[in-house]
């Protein structure tokens, strides 16, 4: 399905990013995954069957640009980029600290933007490519106690919608996935009651797995999705927030 394609996944050391790196590698792509910590990135790359694991903090625009250019140069091209790196910290409105706003927006919004910009530059030469960014059901509908995260993920969805409009004529597709509640380290802080409440509101009656999201991303970056761009695909078991 992805034989001969070169793919980059940010934040690929665990959770959805790791499952995505594995799914793309299993489909035949040459995968480079990144993580903030080089040793963890290398370990994850070996576990996922990826070609390499590199250190990258997506808040550093210059580092993102240099790494993406380097990957494209080393492999001769870059076909697929998954801007997955992201953070989530809950805070009620009255408890929101400036630092939380800064770290969330610089990681989720600016980090995604840097990655999409660098990907577009690398893909422009061949006039083909597929980018997926990680939005969230929370960004589409809002969630009490998650105003900062929700705002950041609404921005991520609109990075996909806008970049898709700008890059379509260059043969580059940009889509977002909007997961519901997926069982990863990011959601490990949820109480059993909160998990049960979410499952109760989910028609498919369970939390999502990283593979549920990875499989949808693998479809979106494949040629099977060649006429799909600018979409925000819910992967949420039908969850109604
Ligand atoms: P996770 O916490 O398990 O993994 C996040 C990854 O991003 C980690 O590898 C982490 O090291 C990396 N990361 C964080 N900040 C980074 C930075 N500045 N530079 C580089 N890497 C960085 O989370 P996950 O559940 O796998 O989430 C992956 C993505 O999916 C995130 O963008 C998240 O917001 C989104 N998402 C998750 C859920 C969910 O329920 N788990 C739901 C909706 C959206």
**Over the stretch 190-216, which tens digit does the pLDDT of each residue have?**
999 999 999 999 999 999 999 999 999
103 lines ligand 1 (CB under 6 A): no
Is 208 in contact with 15 (CB distance < 8 Å)?
no
Residue 14 CA, ligand 1 centroid: distance in Å: 8
* Count of beta carbons in the 10 Å neighbourhood of residue 176: 29
What pLDDT does 217 receive?
99
Is 154 in contact with 148 (CB distance < 8 Å)?
no
Residues, the chain, total? 241
Residue 134 CA, ligand 1 centroid: distance in Å: 9
* Count of beta carbons in the 10 Å neighbourhood of residue 4: 9
Residue 11 CA, ligand 1 centroid: distance in Å: 6
What pLDDT does 162 receive?
99
Average pLDDT of the chain to the nearest whole number: 98
Question: What whole-number distance in Å separates Cα of residue 112 and Cα of residue 86?
Answer: 8
Nearest of 60, 66, 62 to residue 8 by alpha carbon: 66
Fold topology of 6-182+210-235: Rossmann fold (3.40.50)
Is 208 in contact with 183 (CB distance < 8 Å)?
yes
What pLDDT does 223 receive?
98
What pLDDT does 73 receive?
98
Nearest of 174, 9, 18 to residue 83 by alpha carbon: 9
59 lines ligand 1 (CB under 6 A): yes
What pLDDT does 16 receive?
98
State which ligand 1 atom lies nearest to the alpha carbon of 185.
3
Is 180 in contact with 208 (CB distance < 8 Å)?
yes
Probe target for ligand 1 pocket from 37, 53, 84, 86, with the most ligand atoms within 8 Å of CB: 86
Residues of the chain below pLDDT 50: none
What pLDDT does 226 receive?
98
Question: What whole-number distance in Å separates Cα of residue 19 and Cα of residue 157?
Answer: 21
């Amino acid at each position: 399905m992805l034989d001969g394609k070169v793919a980059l996944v940010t934040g690929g050391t665990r959770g959805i990013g790791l499952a995505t790196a594995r799914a793309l590698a299993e489909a035949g792509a040459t995968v480079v995954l990144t993580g903030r910590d080089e040793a963890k990135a290398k370990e994850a790359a070996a576990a996922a069957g990826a070609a390499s694991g590199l250190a990258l903090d997506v808040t550093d625009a210059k580092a993102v640009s240099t790494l993406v250019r380097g990957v494209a140069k080393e492999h001769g091209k870059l076909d697929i980029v998954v801007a997955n790196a992201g953070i989530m910290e809950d805070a009620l409105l009255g408890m929101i600290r400036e630092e939380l706003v800064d770290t969330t927006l610089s990681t989720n919004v600016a980090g995604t933007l840097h990655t999409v910009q660098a990907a577009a530059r690398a893909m422009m030469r061949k006039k083909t490519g597929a980018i997926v960014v990680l939005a969230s059901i929370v960004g589409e509908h809002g969630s009490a106690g998650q105003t900062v995260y929700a705002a950041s993920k609404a921005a991520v969805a609109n990075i996909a919608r806008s970049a898709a409009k700008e890059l379509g004529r260059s043969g580059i597709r940009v889509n977002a996935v909007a997961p519901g509640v997926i069982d990863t380290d990011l959601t490990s802080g949820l109480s059993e009651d909160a998990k049960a409440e979410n499952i109760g509101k989910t028609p498919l009656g369970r939390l999502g797995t990283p593979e549920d999201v990875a499989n949808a991303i693998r479809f979106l970056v494949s040629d099977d999705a060649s006429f799909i761009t600018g979409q925000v695909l819910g992967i949420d078991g039908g969850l109604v927030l």
